[in-house]
């Protein structure tokens, strides 16, 4: 049984979906005013890995992740660039899709945009006003946080602590308009020529928190299984979503709350963020390294733990990824001419590793333990690939099981097609030189191939080659 650490209860709970064999899942998406950095990618990859494991276990997953395509940052950035907010959003939504595809993130079932749901947002706010949970002031609309009795439950804060924090806000003008310092905005009145929509209480645009309440319940229902996001969203964003949604529907909003850890930078473990100016965009990084390396680094750490981003951690990820890929290539190579009998011991070991993998990942998606099992599977494959006689059917079974495990982490294992006639000829010449004990020629050819970016592997079954980083 899958166990999930629920932020709401601060305990691991057995996952019981609302509908058997189906998972409804909402993850807060980006505000699309710039390229995503690898701190943003952490959340995207973490929840993609969780989704993939649910699918590995046979669940059908409806995965919704939004785009916030209107807010202060978008308005300011569009003004600076001399374009409209929708044009800015289209630009960076396109870049987002390219970047997440590069790191092998499965497309969401739905990617709703806030601006496509304005009518629903207005109706949602009107309902909260009718129920007495919201009020209008000079075209703004605020939520009465104190009226919601469970406010603070997710972040485990009491109302007095929240009031004290709210009183430290520097926007005295806004605080003066509120009935209570802890109230928050559902709708913001338009200023000047800002992008805006007409609502019963005035022309303006939605607040940030209301967007996710509307889009999650619209596409997944009043109650759904899992709500996810970065740990920095617990308060106020997710706290406010709960207050809004449950006040409107009278039902539990999300049944399990999941939050991923941060990415830290360098040996000082400083949190990566745009505000600190220490961020690395995915867009730039995947031009310099194999995107699978970044994916490996992000997906093989348990989602609640922080990830330290350094050149050393990237190199470790690259090395480990190559080991897994080489094991797959080595065994696939043995398919040609495989005529031996199946090895019962190997079959038993593989079955046990599959069980071990499920045990590891069922425990709150423990990626560290899960990838350790994949390493063990790679060792089993390497030993089997060196046997004198191997069985084709068993090879295919091993490769299929191994590839499915790796795919949970977004790792694509595939046989590399070496169809370069020039390289093939040089490899044959080197093999002949070695057979003739002409080591000078053999070394010269190896160096020539190395300069061409070719990696050679001398095995008992012959020389194999591949191009670097394939």
Tell how far CA 105 is from the center of its chain: 7
The beta-carbon contacts of 415-419 under 8 Å, at least 24 apart in sequence, are 415/328, 415/329, 415/332, 416/329, 416/466, 416/467, 416/470, 418/465, 418/466
Nearest to 371 by CA among 382, 387, 356, 351: 356
Is 428 annotated to bind ligand? no
Is 237 annotated to bind ligand? yes
Separation between Cα atoms, residue 386 and residue 401, nearest integer Å: 19
Is 238 annotated to bind ligand? no
Name every residue whose Cβ is closer than 8 Å to that of residue 351 and which is 6 or more positions away in sequence.
Answer: none
| The pair of three-digit structure tokens given for residue 316, joined into one six-digit string | 């470790």
Region class of 21: left (phi > 0), else alpha (psi between -120 and 50), else beta: left
CB atoms within 10 A of CB 8: 21
Beta carbons of 262 and 42 less than 8 angstroms apart: yes
DSSP 31-45: B-SS--BHHHHHHHH
Is 440 annotated to bind ligand? no
- The secondary structure of residue 148, as a DSSP letter, is S
| The pair of three-digit structure tokens given for residue 88, joined into one six-digit string | 């800015």
Is 241 annotated to bind ligand? yes
- The secondary structure of residue 110, as a DSSP letter, is B
Separation between Cα atoms, residue 251 and residue 249, nearest integer Å: 5
Mark the binding-site residues for Zn(2+), compressed into ranges: 28, 212, 237, 241
Positions at the binding site for ATP: 274
Binding-site residue set:
28, 212, 237, 241, 274
């Amino acid at each position: 049984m899958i166990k999930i650490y629920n932020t709401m209860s601060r305990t691991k709970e057995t996952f019981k979906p609302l509908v058997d064999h189906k998972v409804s899942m909402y993850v807060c998406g980006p505000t699309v005013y710039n390229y995503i950095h690898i701190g943003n990618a952490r959340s995207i990859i973490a929840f993609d890995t969780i989704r993939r494991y649910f699918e590995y276990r046979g669940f059908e997953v409806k995965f919704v992740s939004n785009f916030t395509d209107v807010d202060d940052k978008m308005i300011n950035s569009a003004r600076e660039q001399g374009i409209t907010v929708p044009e800015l959003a289209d630009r960076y939504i396109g870049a987002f899709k390219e970047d997440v595809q590069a790191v092998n993130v499965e497309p969401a079932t739905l990617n709703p945009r806030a601006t496509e749901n304005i009518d629903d947002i207005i109706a949602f706010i009107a309902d909260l006003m009718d129920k007495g949970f919201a009020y209008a002031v000079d075209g703004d609309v605020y939520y009465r946080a104190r009226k919601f009795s469970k406010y603070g439950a997710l972040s485990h804060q009491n109302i007095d602590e929240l009031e004290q924090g709210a009183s430290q806000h520097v926007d005295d003008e806004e605080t003066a308009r509120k009935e209570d310092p802890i109230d928050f905005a559902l709708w913001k009145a338009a200023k000047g020529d800002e992008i805006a929509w007409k609502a019963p209480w005035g022309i303006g645009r939605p607040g940030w928190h209301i967007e996710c309440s509307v889009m999650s319940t619209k596409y997944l229902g009043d109650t759904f299984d899992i709500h996810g996001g970065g740990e920095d969203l617990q308060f106020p964003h997710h706290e406010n979503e709960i207050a809004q949604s449950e006040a409107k529907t009278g039902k539990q909003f999300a049944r399990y709350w999941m939050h991923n850890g941060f990415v830290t930078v360098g040996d000082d473990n400083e949190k990566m963020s745009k505000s600190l100016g220490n961020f690395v965009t995915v867009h730039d990084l995947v031009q310099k390294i194999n995107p699978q390396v970044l994916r490996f680094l992000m997906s093989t750490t348990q989602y609640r733990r922080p990830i330290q981003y350094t050149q050393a951690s990237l190199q470790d990820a690259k090395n480990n990824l190559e080991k897994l890929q080489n094991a797959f290539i080595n065994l696939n190579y043995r398919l040609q001419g495989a005529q031996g009998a199946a090895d019962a011991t190997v079959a038993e070991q593989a079955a046990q590793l599959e069980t071990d993998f499920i045990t590891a990942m069922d425990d709150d998606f423990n990626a560290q333990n899960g990838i350790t099992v994949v390493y063990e599977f790679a060792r089993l494959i390497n030993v089997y690939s060196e046997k004198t006689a191997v069985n084709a059917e068993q090879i295919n079974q091993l490769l299929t099981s191994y590839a499915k495990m790796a795919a949970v982490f977004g790792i694509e294992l595939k046989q590399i097609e070496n169809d370069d006639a020039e390289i093939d000829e040089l490899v044959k010449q080197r093999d002949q030189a070695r057979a003739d004990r002409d080591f000078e020629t053999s070394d010269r050819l190896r160096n020539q191939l190395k300069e061409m970016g070719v990696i050679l592997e001398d095995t008992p079954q012959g020389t194999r080659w591949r191009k670097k980083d394939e």
